[in-house]
Amino acid sequence: MNRREEFWVKCWRDAAEKSLYRETFPEERKCWDATADYYDAGMGSSNERVDVLLGYLKRQGFWNGSKKQILDIGSGTGAFALPLAACGAAVTALDCSPEMNRIVRQKAREKDLNVKVQTGDFNRLPFETRAYDLVIGSMNPGLYHPEPFLRMLSLSRDLVVYVGICDTPVKKKDNGSCKSLDEILLGHTLTHSGSNHVQYPCQLLKAMGYRPVVLPVQCQWRCEEEEALEVGRLIRHYETVETGIIVKNWREAIRAYVKDALQDGRFINEGKTVMGVLVCSLKSEETAMEMTV
Ligand SMILES: C[S@@+](CC[C@H](N)C(=O)[O-])C[C@H]1O[C@@H](n2cnc3c(N)ncnc32)[C@H](O)[C@@H]1O
């Protein structure tokens, strides 16, 4: 590893160590299982990042030639895995959440798409080096750290795609409430401390001699929910917090929070953020090296 690589690995690791997520959700799977049914109605409904990648791959002529092998790490409800399979690729959708995988299997069946769905933690499973033409990880907290990212690179013989944030999210409107629910129940805002920023993989790849491209995408989502359904969803989510809830009657606090935030009897969940879709050809390093020899 050269000094620039070491520098960016350290910066990324430092940011990841400040993230409060791991402490709050030591078993990541549980928190995604609890919210899987809701994912496509909320944040998952914003498809701009998928359209941007598909357009880019088409323009670059990625689909020319043989059948592509693709690994989607943290595939969720299949935002990328399913459209990539629809383009003719052999896709492996890996996720640690059995509930997310139940949804992706069902959607693949309905669309008659051939997706191999695998359940497990990426950091604990063996994968063959350079076995895929494209390895993608989108908004996956399991990849907000340099080690899993470097491992991800080792599995691709052509492209790597990484979706992270590009800009600090505009603060979610809490419907008039001053404090977010995290602040009320946990005493602080839950962030990834910037370790989900696309600059880390981007700078690391540049330090390694590659030429990544970052395509910025404005993502937004908005959904309305009935009071009782929203309360149930939030309770299921916070039940997966093992330590850290500072309010004794926290279920009551959730009910009060939702009631207070209702607009015309509905709870509005909305968000807006700029994501970065990083695409990097791992073949270009060989070209770059040849040019510098
Ligand atoms: C925010 S969702 C993103 C889903 C999808 N990639 C997308 O862009 O919509 C993050 C997903 O990563 C999965 N995940 C988190 N850590 C993981 C790990 N270490 N191994 C496999 N999957 C993981 C979660 O279960 C969840 O489904």
- pLDDT-derived band at 132 (thresholds 50, 70, 90) equals very high
The mean pLDDT value of the chain amounts to 89
Contact status, residue 32 vs residue 100, Cβ threshold 8 Å: yes
Pocket test for ligand 1, best of 53, 71, 95, 165 (most atoms within 8 A of CB): 95
Over the Cα atoms of the chain, what is R_g? Answer: 20
Amino acid letter for position 261: A
Q: Is the CB of 148 under 6 A from ligand 1?
A: no
Q: Is the CB of 123 under 6 A from ligand 1?
A: yes
% of the chain surpassing 70 pLDDT:
92
| 211-234 residue pLDDT tens | 999 999 998 888 888 999 999 999
Residue 293 has pLDDT above 50, yes or no: no
Angle between helices 3-18 and 146-154 (to 10 degrees): 130
- pLDDT-derived band at 21 (thresholds 50, 70, 90) equals confident
Residue 275 buriedness (CB in 10 A; 0-12 / 13-18 / 19+): buried
Delimit the domains of the chain by residue range. 3-168+192-219+273-292
| 25-55 residue pLDDT tens | 777 788 899 889 889 988 788 899 999 999 9
Q: Is the CB of 74 under 6 A from ligand 1?
A: yes
| H/E stretch holding 110 | helix 98-110
Q: Is the CB of 267 under 6 A from ligand 1?
A: no
Q: Which of 215, 234, 107, 109 is nearest to 163 (CA)?
A: 215
Distance of CA 115 to the CA centre of its chain: 19
Q: Is the CB of 139 under 6 A from ligand 1?
A: yes
**Sequence-ordered list of residues with C-beta below 8 angstroms from that of 28, at least 6 positions apart, any chain:** 96, 121, 141, 142
* CA 73 – ligand 1 centroid, Å: 7
Pairing of strands 69-73, 132-138: parallel
Residue 274 has pLDDT above 80, yes or no: yes
16-21 long-range CB contacts below 8 Å, 24 or more apart? 16/144, 16/145, 16/146, 16/192, 16/193, 16/195, 18/193, 18/195, 19/144, 19/191, 19/192, 19/193, 19/195, 20/188, 20/190, 20/191, 20/193, 21/141, 21/190, 21/192
Q: Is the CB of 140 under 6 A from ligand 1?
A: yes
DSSP reduced 3-state for 225: strand
**Sequence-ordered list of residues with C-beta below 8 angstroms from that of 75, at least 6 positions apart, any chain:** 81, 93, 94, 95, 100, 104, 117
The residue whose CA has the least distance to atom 25 of ligand 1 is 97
Residue 45 — left, alpha, or beta (φ > 0 → left; ψ -120 to 50 → alpha)?
alpha
Residue 207 has pLDDT above 50, yes or no: yes
Residue 107 buriedness (CB in 10 A; 0-12 / 13-18 / 19+): middle
Concatenated DSSP letters of 77-92: TTTTHHHHHHTT-EEE
Contact status, residue 136 vs residue 92, Cβ threshold 8 Å: no
The residue whose CA has the least distance to atom 11 of ligand 1 is 74
* CA 181 – ligand 1 centroid, Å: 22
The conformation of residue 182, written as its DSSP 8-state character, comes to H
* CA 95 – ligand 1 centroid, Å: 6
**CATH class for the domain made up of 3-168+192-219+273-292:** alpha beta
Residue 67 buriedness (CB in 10 A; 0-12 / 13-18 / 19+): exposed
* CA 31 – ligand 1 centroid, Å: 11
- pLDDT-derived band at 287 (thresholds 50, 70, 90) equals very low
- β-bridge partners, 72: 93, 136
The residue whose CA has the least distance to atom 27 of ligand 1 is 76
**Sequence-ordered list of residues with C-beta below 8 angstroms from that of 14, at least 6 positions apart, any chain:** none
Q: Is the CB of 101 under 6 A from ligand 1?
A: no
